[in-house]
A and B are shown apart, each in its own frame.
With several copies, the nearest count.
Chain A
Amino acid sequence: MKYETDLPVMLPLKRHQSAPFPGLKSKHILAVALIAIIGPCVAFAQAPSGQESPLTVLLNWAPLLLKGFIFNLIISISAMAFGTAIGAILGLGQISLIAATRHSSWFVTQFFRNAPWLVLLFFAMFLLPFEINVLGFKIPFPDWLKAILGLSLPVMANVSEIVRGAVRSLPSGQWEAAESLAYTRMQTLWLIILPQCVKRMLPPWMNLYSILTMATVLASIVGVSEVMTLTGQALASEGGRPELLAPFYGFVLLLFFIYCYPIARFTVWLEKKYAVIN
C-alpha cells in the first residue's frame, strides 16, 4: 500500500515537456554560422601576407569537403539501416521465451553497448578480411564498407535496447488481453505489441541516428575518405598552416550542426506529441 503523494519527484522520470530549447530559433543558428565565419576572420588577422586568406582557402576546399560530408551521410544511413535491422532481431531475441536466445541476445547487446564506438570501429577495420569468398566469388570489403559494419555494431546494440525497452514499457495487460483472445505469441507481437512500440521507439531511434551521424567522423581515424579525412588531407595540402585549423574544423562543425540540429528538434517534437497522446 502506497501512501498518497503529490511528489512526482519520486516517480519515474517523465520526459520534461517544457519548451525544449527555450527561445532558440533559426536566427540563433545564423548566429552560430556567423561565429564559424568569424573564426576564419580572426585567423585572417594572423595570416602572413602574400598568402591566400583562410576564408578563400576554405571556399576553395568547400565543395570537396561537402562531397566528403555527403559520404558521411551515406555511411550514417547505411549503418543505421543495417544496425536497425540486426538490432531489431537482437531486441526481439531479448524478449524471446527461449532462455538461451534471451540470454545470448542480452549478452551480445550488453557487450557491444559497453564497448566504445571507436574501439568497435577499429575492431571492424582490422579484423574483417579485405575480401570474402562466397561460392568462389571474391567480394571485396572496402574500408568504407567496414566502417559501415563497424558503426552498425553499436547501433545494433542500442537498437536492441530500444526495442526491448519499448516492449517492456507496454503494460503487461496488453499481452494478457491478447493472450486471452487466443492470439499466438507471434500474432501478439506483430499485431498488438510492435505497432504500439513504434511510436515509443521513434524518438530514441532518431536520437541514436543523430549520435551515429556524429560518430561517422571516427571513420577518419581509420582512414576512410570522409569529411574529416578530407579536412586533414586538405590541411596537409595547404602545408599545415595552423591558422587554417579553426576555420576548417569550424566548417565541419557547422556542417554537422546544420544537419543534426533539425533532427534533434524533430525528435523533441515527436516526443512531446506522443507524450500527450499516450
Chain B
Amino acid sequence: MSWTTADPMVSLKDVHKSFGELKVLNGVSLDVMKGDVICIIGPSGSGKSTLIRCINALNDIQQGSILVEGQEVNDPKVDKLELRKKVGMVFQQYNLFPHKTALQNVMMAPVRVLKQDKVKVEEVARALIKKVRLEGKENAYPGELSGGQQQRVAIARSLAMQPDVILFDEVTAALDPETVGEVLQTIKDLAEDGMTCILVTHEMAFAREVADHIYFTDRGVIVEHGPPETFFQNAQDPRTKEFLSQIL
C-alpha cells in the first residue's frame, strides 16, 4: 500500500496527546491533500501548536496515527531525519541561527543535512532570498534584521530543504504590525505556487483569503471546519461563534 499523490499528504486519525496529566489533544483527525492550504484557528492553549509540532515529530503522541505521505510519524522506528526533510516548519520566534548570516542560515541545512553541493546550494539560496524579497540582505546577521525580515529568512530557510509540506505556527504573532504584511505576502506567494501549507494563525482576514479549508480547535478537539466562506459566515458551533465574534 504505497502512497500516491491522490492520497492525503498529511493525515491525522484520532490523535491523542497529553503532557503528564494535561490532555492537550483529544482525538483530532484531519486530512491535507497535496497543494492544500489549511488554516487552524482557535483560542490560546487549545492545542494548535502542539498539533502542528506532532506532525513534525517534535512532540510524540499517545494514541492515534499521523501519516505524512503515507508514513507513520509516531513510529519509533521511523527515520525522523527523513521525515523532516519532507516537512518544513516555521516558528513564531523565527529561531534563526544568530551566528550565521541570512544566506548561511538558508544554506546550512541543505549543505549539512542533505550534503548537497555548496555552490549549487548557494545559487538556490540566493534565489530563495530573492523570492522572499530580501535581496541585498544576504550577508546581514539576524540581529541586524527586523522581525519581519528575520521571519522571511526563516521561511526561505525552510524552503531550501524543498519540503513537500510546510507548517507555519503563528508566524506573525511576534511581529510589529508594519511587518506582518510582508510575511503574509510571502506565504501567499507560496500558497499560490502550489505548496502544501498548514498554518496556525490569528489573522482571520488572511486565513479567509488564502485557505482552502479552515479548522477551528478548542480544548484539543476540532470543533468545526469547512471552506472559508461557509466557515466565517455560517459557523454552527457556539464556541466558534463566540471566538469569531471576539476576533472579527
Contact = CB atoms under 8 A, between A and B. Distances in A.
A177 B81 contact: no
Contact of B89 (A7, A180, A183): A180
A273 to B, nearest CB: 13
A167 B154 CA distance: 22
B145 interface: yes
Contact of A182 (B81, B97, B143, B145): B81
B56 interface: yes
Contacts of B87: 180
Contacts, number: 72
A277 B99 CA distance: 11
A3 to B, nearest CB: 6
Contacts of B56: 180
Contact of B108 (A174, A180, A191, A278): A191
A3 B58 CA distance: 28
B84 A3 contact: no
Interface residues of A, number: 26
Given A3-B143, A6-B93, A180 B88 contact: yes
A183 B98 contact: no
Interface string B134-170: 0000000001011100100010011001000000000
A183 B97 contact: no
Contacts of B206: none
Interface in B169-211: 174, 176
Given A10-B143, A179-B84, A181-B161, A187 B113 contact: yes
Contacts of B89: 177, 180
Nearest to B108: A191
A275 to B, nearest CB: 13
Interface string B91-103: 1010111110000
Contact of A176 (B95, B145, B161): B95
A181 B91 contact: no
A178 B108 CA distance: 10
Tell which of B58, B96, B97 has the most Cβ of chain A within 10 Å.
B97
B85 interface: yes
B109 interface: yes
A182 B113 contact: yes
A173 interface: yes
A80 B146 CA distance: 41
Nearest to A175: B95
B77 interface: no
B113 A171 contact: no
Contacts of A191: 108, 112
Nearest to B110: A181
B91 A177 contact: yes
A195 B99 contact: yes
A182 B91 contact: no
A96 interface: no
B84 A180 contact: yes
Contacts of A19: none
A196 interface: yes
B84 A181 contact: yes
A177 B174 CA distance: 16
Contacts of A181: 84, 108-109, 113, 157-158, 161
Nearest to A10: B98
Nearest to B44: A1
A270 to B, nearest CB: 16
Nearest to B81: A182
Interface string B33-74: 000000000000000000000001010000000000000000
Contacts of A196: 97-99
Contacts of B99: 195-196
A182 B116 CA distance: 14
B182 to A, nearest CB: 14
A5 B150 CA distance: 10
Contacts of A277: 143
Nearest to A196: B99
Contacts of A6: 93, 174
A183 B112 contact: yes
Interface of A: 3-7, 9-10, 171, 173-174, 176-184, 187, 191-192, 195-196, 277-278
22 contacts: A3-B147, A10-B143, A171-B93, A171-B95, A173-B91, A173-B95, A176-B58, A179-B58, A180-B56, A180-B58, A181-B108, A181-B109, A181-B113, A181-B158, A182-B84, A182-B109, A183-B109, A191-B108, A191-B112, A195-B99, A196-B99, A277-B143
Rank and list the top 8 A-B pairs by shortest CB-CB distance, nearest first. Answer: A177-B95, A182-B84, A173-B95, A180-B89, A181-B109, A6-B93, A182-B81, A182-B85
